Each structure stands twice: as structure tokens, then as C-alpha cells.
Structure 1
């Protein structure tokens, strides 16, 4: 008798599966979505394995199949299990990332009456009880959550009383999926010759009605199919529709409509260019690995190319090879902001064969693209982190562009996975080739390539379009580091150093473009009273409020709480309130003051909340509708802006001195990446970096475009301290509304972990902390961190009973 191990979508986070008997009437295989009994409820689940015997003596039957076709491939079933084990995450949280969007079904608790309205009079109910009971009787059934929202804290007691006296009963049901295929009724041409003949007859009739019908029929002949709603708006009447269907000229039917975010956009085919020798060598190495997939040896590559070296052309050549072999691919980009430009490059090479998947799509678009990708309708899927888990069949190639970016790590919810690490496991399970690309690779990726775990491919020279066609080598932009201490000594109080101000003016005079980078939003970093030192802070978070001039409000960048700008100090009632620090809004204001003729655009999170805003800003700047682009790290990504001849870094110090071992590496990456936006056109370019610490190795390396130097320094530093790649990290964080309780629980847990370390004899694992998080209080909850460091720190956490309020982050990208 067959049994199935099922991951259940329960309210309680579960790491294990549950065994169910497979009824004789069902054919069940791994990856299928099923309904299973779980306690008093029926819940959603996914079959992880099928077996002939059961590890438990008593089992219940699978209730039904949700869909006969598996929702997860064999590779994704294995990947979900691996993610749960590796990241210590609930199994269904991992599976949920791979399900069709909107299909994850939570249980719904309903209240149903057990008597009629006529029977309620003699029950002696209170007014509140009678009102609720009458509501449930009137509506037949009511969601318990709806009752709680309507009544408030008293809801639980009232419901419990009505349940005890037998007036109500609870029933359980799954919420319906929040996304479904979109169906539309269409009229479709079935006999072109008969339709043409009928249209000619109507034209010959000459009446107004006949001419309208002839026009509609001619439109249908040209389009062959149109939605009924549009046909009716064009004059289709029920009588004429019957005439067409009865005569065999057309049929009406319901079809599923693909909600494609790229619908209506045409991408002219672009033939592959001639590759440089370095590009050709890299593409050949990847092509050989694609051809050798059948051997079962997974291959990994690190494509290290300087900014503007043509890494995308190598990706495209590799994709060409994969598609020619009958394989498909996934291409990851770090931000939604990069998706439009990347999609265009890939869609020009593979017209109508590129799917885009990201969180900016509507739920319906995301659902339809997921289904179309699973059906094998696209050769290439492009998107940020979540696109990694798209159900792409025949996966042969997985590319991660700008692989060093921290946005590839999911930090806010379980599972807290890193797309790069999960991609490596997926490639092993699917037998696919992995290509990581960056001008500033993550130090761990670079060390892995140095050790021979991945093959290092290098593009050491920048290239640009040549005047006579093809490409030519080009120099990297020159970098000038400006010591802001010397600027102050010279009496310059502007946010622009003298070299940067001269450079901006020269670029504007020459009709060129400028990018100004500051990795901080807002107008002022904080607001302070100059009499008593008071700083306006968020009431829910232990951080200063940032002033935003367009809203004339103080805003918390952690919880989004807003407050008006005080006219006087709340503490001493003084009126010397000053706005201190810089943000992108202030930089834009200063540009307009110093260079009144300059047209500006700002690119940060505050101006990109709407759909397609990233694409709109980039398109306007590329069309030279603006001269100066001011932005946060969004402008430091892999964007190609040929008219930019000057990049200015307003302050290189914003992240340099954070108490995180990756601070130097990240600062170098940001500076080198934003510097790479300059000089991609024929006019070349330059970079001005403003800093108070020009002697810092990260800034010195950025000024020389010296990735190897900073990487070797970081590797030596981490080797001494046992940080990745020479050891692994796991961080657990406790949060609670009570400050003292949070501290006590963190301290107690640290002691329990140390005791378990002694019991297991794991002397090579360090337990550091507890220590307050960098932002000690967020959204009203006090936070404490415990950091575990060693060869496999998760060993201590497996099976360790963490109380409610703890989160686990294996391989954290930040220890703040």
C-alpha cells in the first residue's frame, strides 16, 4: 500500500513532513499539490516523496489532488528540502516560493448557526451575543476573523459563549486562491472566403446597418480574432453574431488570456556582434560546459570583467548556445531597476522568447507568466531574486549578473536565503551550468574561483562601439579623490568640492551628462536643536527621523512613521532647529541652486514607488531629457549610459565605518560600480570621489580600479578572524516590545547555546553576544543579536528550541 510524505501548509511553522496513505483512487507523485486532513481541518500540502511503507503505525488518507500535474519538478522538490535543512526554515515556507503566485491557501475558520432565528428568543443571551448570533443566522456563515475585526477584544469571549451553548459551530475551509487564469470570450473567424463574400454582400446592400456590419466583418477578417466586448463596441449585435455563427463564418468561444507584461512591446532583432578575443574565450568555455552537461558534472564560472567590458555579450553568446542545444535559461539581475534594460538586450536577441518575472508585476501577470514558463513557452526568464525559482523546464544555464549585490539575499522573511547559494544547489540538482558575473565579485566567490571550485574567466579591458562598426578597447575613467578636510580648510562649505563643481560645469557646457551618487535618501539625515542638542527620533525605532522637504515631514526609514517638522524644540522650546546631514533630495536642491540651467532627475526609493517608474526615469535620462541624475545605489548598478562623462560621489564615507566586517568590501564595490557609469561613450569620462578618509584602503583601491588588491586584503583579514570564506556565520535575533525582557531572553538563550556547544563538544564554534542590534529598536520591538561563527554553526541550532520572537539567519550578509 503506497504512502506519501507531505509538506503541510499549517499555521505553525514545521520543518518536517507528515505521512499519509494514498487512496486506491488517486495516482500521486512527488511535486503534486494535495488536500490533506490535519487535525480538524483540511489543509493544502505538497507531496515530497512516495514510499511503500509508513514510518508510523496510524495514517490518514490524502483527501484529494488539487491538480493532477505536479506543481514542483523533481529538482524543485529536492531544492525545497535542501533549503529547509540548510536555512533552518519551515519546509512549506521554502515550497511557497516555488508555487504559482497567489495559490498558497491559508485555512479559514467560519462560524455557522445551529438554530434558526425563531429559536433564539428564549435563550437569555446578552445583547452582544444576540447581535452576533443574528448576524451569523442572517448570513449563513461568517469568517471568525471578520467577527474579531468588527467587535474587537470582546469577540473571543462572545464566540466562546455561543459555542458552549450550542448556538454556533466552527467549520474550517481553505481560502480560495487569490489568482486564477483570466478567461475572455472572443469571436474567431472560421471561414475567410465566406466572410469576404458576406462582407461584399453587405457593402452592396449600402444601408447604414449593412455598412457597419461590413466594416466589423472586415476588421474581423484582418485580425482573425477579437474579444467579444470589443466586437460589441464596434457594432456586433446578438442577431449579427447568430448570423455569423449559424453561417459557419465565425465562432464564439472562451479562451485563457495571457497577461504578459511585455505585451504590445516590439523588440527589433539584433544580430550578435563580433566578440573580442577575451569575450570569445569566455563564451567558448561556457559553451563546452553546456555541451558536457550529459556527463553529469555541474560546472560553475566566475566571469570577472571590468565595468563596460561586455559581460552581457558573453551571457548572450552562452544563451545562444544553450538554446541551440534545446536547453533553457534563467538570468538574474539584482534590482527591478535593471530589469527593463536587461530585458531589452535579451529580447532583441530572442524576440518573443523572453519572460520577465518580478514583484512589480500584478498578481495576474505574475500568475500567467509562471504558468507560461512552466509550459515551456519561453527560452529565457529574466528577473531579480525571486525569478530563480521560476518553473523553467530543461534548465541548462543559470546566470547571476552583478553577483556581488546584497539584494540577492532575502532578509525580511523566512526562508532567509541567498540566491547565489540556492542557485548553486539548483544547478547541481538540475545539472545546469552556473555563471556568476561582476566587475567587483564577492570576495567569497573570488576565493572559490581561486581555489578551483569555479573556473575564473576574465575580461580585463573595457570596450565601446567603434566609429566604423564593431568595438574598440577604451580606458577606464580616471578617478580623482578629493579630501574634504582640505576643502573645509580652503573655506569651501558647499557640498560640491571645487574639482567636482568644475567638472559638473564643464560637462554641462559640453552637452554631456552627469551622475551624482549619495547612498542616503531624504533632505537632511536628522534634525537637531542647536541650543540643547535634542534630535528628533522615531517613537517606535531607535533611529533619528530623516527630513523630506517635498513632504515637509520627518520620516522614519525603518517603519515609515511620519511627523511634522517642529517649529520649536520639544525639550527646551528653543527655535534654533537645524537640518543636518545630506540626502539625495538635498543634493538635487543644491544642484538647482549652483547650476540653474541644469535639468535634474532623482532616482531613489522615494520616487520609484509606482509601476514602471524605474524604466521611465532611465528612459528619460537616456533620451537626454535631463543633464544630471542624482541617486542612491540604484545608479550604481550595471546601467549603460553613453552620454555620462562625469560621476561624482558626494560622500564615500556613508557606509565605510559601519561595524560590519564587510564594510570595506561593500564601499569599494559601490564606488567601483558607480565609477563604471562614466566614460562608456566616445568622449571618455572621469570620476570625482569626495571623502574625509582618502587614505582608507577601500578608497585607494577604487581610485586605482584595483579589485585584486582589495580582494587579497579582505581575504587575509578574514583568514585571521575566521570570517567567510574561512568560516560560516549564523545569526539569531530576538525581538520583543519589552526592553528588559528582550535582554534577559537573549542572555538566557546565549547561555543555553553555550551549554549545548559543550554537550556536543563543538569547541570550534564561537558564540558571540548577545549584543544589541545596530538599530536597537524597530517598530516598537527591542532587538538583540547572537552571532555563531565556525565551520558549521547551524549544527548547534538544529533541534534547538528557540522561543517565539527569535529569527534565524544562516549566512547573514550583515551582522548589524
Structure 2
């Protein structure tokens, strides 16, 4: 027997399938999807490989090497994932190794290592002094030191995972004598009991039915559930248990067990989650498994709570803030079939689930589903690939669907299901657009308008809660010299540095691109003037202003700075849910999906910051964030109020968002994109070429454009594209590298993938630094 394999650490030069002979003693053990060891190269060094196919003959002839051993008898990838591996590699022009690392935790091969590197804090007092004085030169170093002040010691791999940092800041702290790195024993704990359990499907079904009986869907919800599950809508009586209807429709159910895609489009608070849970209950009753995707890690605790309250089965959780060991434990539980419910952010789309029948992508419009690092996949697109491979059902839910998704529904490719009203007869919040120009004329220099301030006082006096949304972290946007007009720029990037003011410490300047930090100089670096001012507004400054205006109220802030450590999202949200604080301030983390019944006032502090970005999707993102933020108000018994503060009160986008009029927004947006030949009418891609030498970078960008044009000319019968550029990227210099953009439009994403694959193969050994992205988010 022949095993066709790909290497786990495949780089472009060896990114292909290799064949190996399966020894006789392994014939009964070998399976597709297993990790094995194979001899590779002239030295026959042992490397890890993944089995992607088994056959009787090899296309490479008879002179083949034999497999060394099987690492784990249980496959690390399910059969559909092996097929998905090739699909993702093809779509995103990456290697097999890139995709394997997305699908299989690194801990799988590391878990047998008896020791590990552990970072230990040496001198707590010295660490506090260094932080207070702002003496560290990078934000990752600050984050690592803050974490070690809390826990005193932690495995290096877990610090890297929890803070999303490389090993470099850890080594820098060691070199400064603030921490030491030692070797200690690594102990793998088991998440669940490995001993076999007796199956009791009847009792399991009874528990699901018993929980489900308490939840009766509204009419619109029942119709959506019926459409998703393939049940005749006329059979549903909204006043009876859905179990009665499902048990009568086995024949119809079997006829509809094929891939189907639905857009569940409902206003904020319309009960989309209830539809998810009802559909999940039936899929579990059929013996299948369910995947819940949420856009933000911050939303996983809420979804876990809802799912755990409905079903007795404990869900598995997958997201990037888990430590390597935690991630392995969750992943291992899933692949062994110990849980049929998985909840997670973007990376959970690759979970090795058995009999996956339903994939739910909540807030499907959210840009957080798009990976910012190579390979730059979109979880919604991967979910669609996987659902098609499995003939599963895909449900995309949103109150503000992505323009491409809604257009697909309009064209009939996606089944549109609408929830037009809020549940429990709740009403959408009353929205007031506040003209901040008039506030200035009245002498109000505060960041909070008089109307919003009055509403906050009134609702807080009744024991209710307030959320304030500002999509800018930090204290101030930048430092401006009032004498020469210069701002303090990052020495390594072409952006101004942002002022951050940690509690109890001196304010510092931070570059949000290279993470460099520096002390705020007393004099302007350009003209030596002391006339420097903090300009712009960030969440830290807003928190300070609110705390001053409401000294008796507890204020929480939720942004990237306050959620850098493990479990910070859940801790902050749970504190707000328990009324330990009455005011929550945050960036887009708080704008979507959260359900706080006692929030009756929402303030959108600076809507203008959202609508004036430089790419064609800026208007869509602004509409979504304003609408989603507004939707957090009035979800309980009390009516909600929303205040949108803007200097452009007549802007069509703000007017549409204030009324939650998605149809009007979509009509304008789709016509604009039709005229400009933007998605969904054509596919869009970006190539970013970067170099430490400015002239060399521009020359390389022109060379790449010429290569694409030659490729198109050679295949003009099959490829039709337009290439624009090269030009400087919006952020021209990052980490001392000059960046040049090439934008490309093509008929579809497959065409872009073919071009990007050709580019990757042509320039893999040239040293050219090029990043390619389909459906980029600028």
C-alpha cells in the first residue's frame, strides 16, 4: 500500500505530495488524516507528515522509502478536513504546512516533551518601577511584564499565546535582568475523562426535549427554523413543542439533507440566537454536531452561557487566547467525539468535528472573521467550503449583513430569512442624532453632549446601565506642537504615535503598528517648544471624563489595552452583567452581539471617525458599527435611547443607521459598487510589496505588475483582470519597510487565487517580500 503525504513544515520549495510505502505491520493501522514520521531528504531525517491518501500504486514509480512510524492512531484531521486542506491551500495561495498549522495545534507534537521554558519574574519592585517610569521600548514587553506581575511565573509558550506576542519581547526582558527563563516539567492535564461511557441516546434526547419545551418561538422565528431544517412551514403550530412537528417529518427531512445556505437577517434583538438554538437542538437530536462561530473572543462567554443553559452537553471552545495546552485539550476532545457542540472565534472553523451538520456564523458581516496574517483566510468563506463538502446547513446571521451576502440572497443563491421585529414586543430604541456643531455654539466643550449627559443621569438614577462606544483606543490620537505644528511620529513607521495613560503611571507614546513605546518629551523634538498639546479623543480620555462627570458610578473600559491578558474579556463582561459597574466604555468590542437587558442608553461618541476612512468598504463598516452599537439599547423591559454624536448630522449613512434602515443603505451602496465595479460584481485583491530600500521596493512592485500582465496576456482566453498601481500604501512605512500597493480586479476569487499562486511560485526563492490578499480589509 502507498501513503500519499504532505509535510507538516512544508515550505514553497517542498510544497507538494510525496509517496511512501506502508510497511506490512502498519497496513491495519494506517488511516487518512494521521500524523506519521517519514524519512526525508538525502540524509533521511525524520519529519512529521500528514497522510492525505491511500492507494495501491504510486505515480512516482517503485523506488520509494517506507514510513517510519505512526505518531497517533487517531487521525488529526477528519476526512472532510483533508479535502478542505487542499481547497484552502488553493484559494489562499499558501503551503500545505500553512493550512495544517491552522487546523492542528502545535501542542500535538510538543506534548511529549517532558520539559518546557518558563519565564519567572525576578524583582517585583523593580518591574513596577520600570513600568511606572515608562522605560520599556515596546508594548509587547509591557504586556509580558504586566502578566508576570500578576502570576509571577508562566510557561513561555503560554505567554506568547495569551498575549499574541513573539518570543522576542520575553528575551528582551530577560536581557534587561527583569525576568529569567528556566526549564521545568510540563504536565499535560486531561480536559475530559478518556474512559468509555455507556451511550444513552434516549436520555440525551429527553434532556434536550425537556430544556427545549420552555422555549416557544415567535411566528417569524418558527418560519425561519422550519426553512433551515426543511420542515413544511404550514405544519408549525407556534404554541406547541417543536418536537411534535420534527417527529412527523422524517421523510421530508431526509429529502432536504443537502448543502443549503441561509441568511438570517433580523433587526437587533429579534431573536436570532433562539433560532440558532432551536435548529441546534434538532441537529443534536438527529445525532449530528453543531459549530457556532462568533466574531470576537469577547462574545464566546455569552454564547457558552446560552448554549450551556439550553443543553446538558458541555461545549468545546476554540479561540486564539487559549494557551497551547488548553487549545490542545479542547481540540483533542472534539476529534475524539466527546462533544458535539463547538463554540469559537475565527479559528474554530477548522475544528475536527464528527458528523458536522450545522454551521452557524453569527454576525457574519464582521471583519474579525478575516485573518490579518498569512494565510489571510475569511472564516465565512471557509465555513461555506466546509458546509459544501459535508452537505451541511450553513446559517449566516446578522442585523447588518455584508453587502456581498445580502446581494447573494437577492440573487437567490442564499435563502433569505427575515426577522423584522424584536422579541417580547420590545421596540427598537429611540435614536437622536446630536449635532456637535450646535453643542460648541452653546459653549459645551465636553466630549459628551448635553442630551446624552441628561439621559445618562436619568437612567443611572433608576439603576439602569449605559454603554458608550468610541472606536479609538488610547488617551489621545497624537501630540501636536502648537508652535511649529509638527506631531510626534513613530521613527519606524509613517504614523503619529498615540498617547496612552495607564492608571498610576506616566503617560507614554505608543505606535499601534510596530508597538514601539517612548516617553512623552517635555519639549517639541522639532523646535524645542514646550507648547505641546494632546489632540484627539481615545477611550482612556473618555473614561476619565465620564468618571469625573459621574463620580459615584463604577466605570469599566473594554478595548485592546484592557483585554490583553487571558480571560479579561469574560471578566469585564461578567462584571458589567452583574451590575458591578453601571457604565461600559469600549471600542468595537462592545458594539456587537452583546445582550444586556438593563442597558437603556447608548452613546456613539464620534460617528465621524467611522465614515471617513479611505477604502470603498468604509461606509459599510460605519453603517454596521453604528447600527450594531445602537442595537445594544432597550433589549429588556425598559425602552432604549441612542445618541449619535456627529458633526455631519445630514449624512445619508448616519441617517440610515439611525433608523436601522438597511434596505435604504443597501440600495445606495450596491449602486455605487455596480458603477465602480467593486465586489460583489468583481473580485478584489491586493498585493503589498515591502522593502527597506524605497527605490528597490518601488522597482519590485513594478516588476510584479509586469509579471501579472504577462501572465494575463499568456492566458487571455481564461483570465481577464485589471491591475492598478503600484502606489504607496495608506501606511507607507511600517517597521522601517516601505510598502507599495497593487490592486487587482478579476471576474471571481478563483481567478485571483490562480494569479496569486503563480506569483508565489515565481518569487518564492527571490527574497521578495510580498503579501497577497483576496477581499482585503484596508
TM-score by length of 2: 0.81
Which residue is 2:58 aligned to? 54
- Residue 677 (structure 1) shift: 0.5
357-366 vs 607-616, which moves further: 357-366
1:797 aligned to 724, 743, 756, which one? 756
Indicate conservation of the 8 Å contact 2:10/2:95, yes or no.
no
Question: Are 1:486 and 2:435 counterparts?
Answer: no
1:435 aligned to 395, 401, 411, which one? 395
Indicate conservation of the 8 Å contact 1:409/1:419, yes or no.
yes
Which residue is 1:696 aligned to? 651
Which residue is 2:75 aligned to? 70
Question: Are 1:806 and 2:769 counterparts?
Answer: yes
Which residue is 2:227 aligned to? 285
Following the alignment from structure 1 to structure 2, what is the Cα–Cα distance between the partners of residues 778 and 490? 42
SS at match of 1:93: helix
Deviations 1:14-73 (A, max 9, x none): 542222333333323321211122213221111112233322244332222212232211
SS at match of 1:6: strand
Where do 1:340-739 residues align within 5 Å? 340-412=301-373, 414-463=374-423, 472-550=424-502, 551=505, 552-739=507-694
Q: Are the structure 2 counterparts of residues 548 and 271 from structure 1 closer, same or farther at C-alpha, using a change threshold of 3 Å?
A: farther
Following the alignment from structure 1 to structure 2, what is the Cα–Cα distance between the partners of residues 584 and 3? 56
Following the alignment from structure 1 to structure 2, what is the Cα–Cα distance between the partners of residues 179 and 286? 46
Which residue is 1:203 aligned to? none
Following the alignment from structure 1 to structure 2, what is the Cα–Cα distance between the partners of residues 785 and 15? 27
Which residue is 2:239 aligned to? none
Q: Are the structure 2 counterparts of residues 13 and 616 from structure 1 closer, same or farther at C-alpha, using a change threshold of 3 Å?
A: farther
Following the alignment from structure 2 to structure 1, what is the Cα–Cα distance between the partners of residues 94 and 187? 28
- Residue 353 (structure 1) shift: 2.8
Indicate conservation of the 8 Å contact 1:179/1:363, yes or no.
no
SS at match of 2:509: strand
Where do 1:200-219 residues align within 5 Å? none
- Residue 328 (structure 1) shift: 0.7
Where do 1:20-169 residues align within 5 Å? 20-27=20-27, 28-39=30-41, 40=43, 41-57=45-61, 58-103=63-108
Following the alignment from structure 2 to structure 1, what is the Cα–Cα distance between the partners of residues 349 and 52? 20
Q: Are the structure 2 counterparts of residues 488 and 807 from structure 1 closer, same or farther at C-alpha, using a change threshold of 3 Å?
A: same
Indicate conservation of the 8 Å contact 1:358/1:386, yes or no.
yes
477-486 vs 521-530, which moves further: 477-486
Indicate conservation of the 8 Å contact 2:752/2:774, yes or no.
no
Structure 2, unaligned runs of 5 or more: 114-167, 172-184, 197-207, 232-245
Which residue is 2:284 aligned to? 323
Following the alignment from structure 1 to structure 2, what is the Cα–Cα distance between the partners of residues 675 and 329? 30
279-288 vs 25-34, which moves further: 25-34
SS at match of 1:654: helix
Deviations 1:87-132 (A, max 9, x none): 11111211222224412579x9xxxxxxxxxxxxxxxxxxxxxxxx
SS at match of 1:103: helix
SS at match of 1:798: helix
Indicate conservation of the 8 Å contact 2:684/2:776, yes or no.
no
Which residue is 1:274 aligned to? 216
- Residue 805 (structure 1) shift: 4.1
Indicate conservation of the 8 Å contact 2:702/2:726, yes or no.
yes
570-579 vs 28-37, which moves further: 28-37
SS at match of 1:544: coil
Following the alignment from structure 1 to structure 2, what is the Cα–Cα distance between the partners of residues 574 and 808? 41
Following the alignment from structure 2 to structure 1, what is the Cα–Cα distance between the partners of residues 694 and 715? 32
SS at match of 2:496: coil
Indicate conservation of the 8 Å contact 2:78/2:353, yes or no.
no
- Residue 365 (structure 1) shift: 1.9
SS at match of 1:396: strand
SS at match of 2:73: coil
Indicate conservation of the 8 Å contact 2:433/2:658, yes or no.
yes
Q: Are the structure 2 counterparts of residues 498 and 756 from structure 1 closer, same or farther at C-alpha, using a change threshold of 3 Å?
A: same
Q: Are the structure 2 counterparts of residues 793 and 448 from structure 1 closer, same or farther at C-alpha, using a change threshold of 3 Å?
A: same
Which residue is 1:17 aligned to? 17
488-497 vs 556-565, which moves further: 488-497
Following the alignment from structure 1 to structure 2, what is the Cα–Cα distance between the partners of residues 773 and 180? 47
Q: Are the structure 2 counterparts of residues 6 and 543 from structure 1 closer, same or farther at C-alpha, using a change threshold of 3 Å?
A: same
Indicate conservation of the 8 Å contact 1:75/1:429, yes or no.
yes
Where do 1:155-194 residues align within 5 Å? 181-182=188-189
Deviations 1:606-627 (A, max 9, x none): 1112222111111211222222
Indicate conservation of the 8 Å contact 1:14/1:91, yes or no.
no
SS at match of 2:26: coil
Which residue is 2:119 aligned to? none
Deviations 1:375-399 (A, max 9, x none): 2111211111111111110111110
Following the alignment from structure 1 to structure 2, what is the Cα–Cα distance between the partners of residues 95 and 180? 25
Deviations 1:611-665 (A, max 9, x none): 2211111121122222211100011010111111111111012131111110000
- Residue 595 (structure 1) shift: 2.7
Q: Are the structure 2 counterparts of residues 795 and 12 from structure 1 closer, same or farther at C-alpha, using a change threshold of 3 Å?
A: closer
Structure 1 or 2, whichever has the larger Rg, is 1
Indicate conservation of the 8 Å contact 1:6/1:49, yes or no.
no
Indicate conservation of the 8 Å contact 1:730/1:808, yes or no.
no
591-600 vs 724-733, which moves further: 591-600
Following the alignment from structure 1 to structure 2, what is the Cα–Cα distance between the partners of residues 663 and 418? 18
Which residue is 1:773 aligned to? 729
SS at match of 2:394: strand
Following the alignment from structure 2 to structure 1, what is the Cα–Cα distance between the partners of residues 467 and 24? 67
Structure 1, unaligned runs of 5 or more: 109-148, 153-177, 185-224, 226-253, 257-266, 464-471
- Residue 697 (structure 1) shift: 2.2
SS at match of 1:318: helix
Following the alignment from structure 2 to structure 1, what is the Cα–Cα distance between the partners of residues 399 and 15? 38
Following the alignment from structure 2 to structure 1, what is the Cα–Cα distance between the partners of residues 186 and 96? 23
Indicate conservation of the 8 Å contact 2:456/2:601, yes or no.
yes
Indicate conservation of the 8 Å contact 1:270/1:348, yes or no.
no
Indicate conservation of the 8 Å contact 2:264/2:397, yes or no.
yes
Following the alignment from structure 1 to structure 2, what is the Cα–Cα distance between the partners of residues 88 and 180? 37
690-699 vs 567-576, which moves further: 690-699
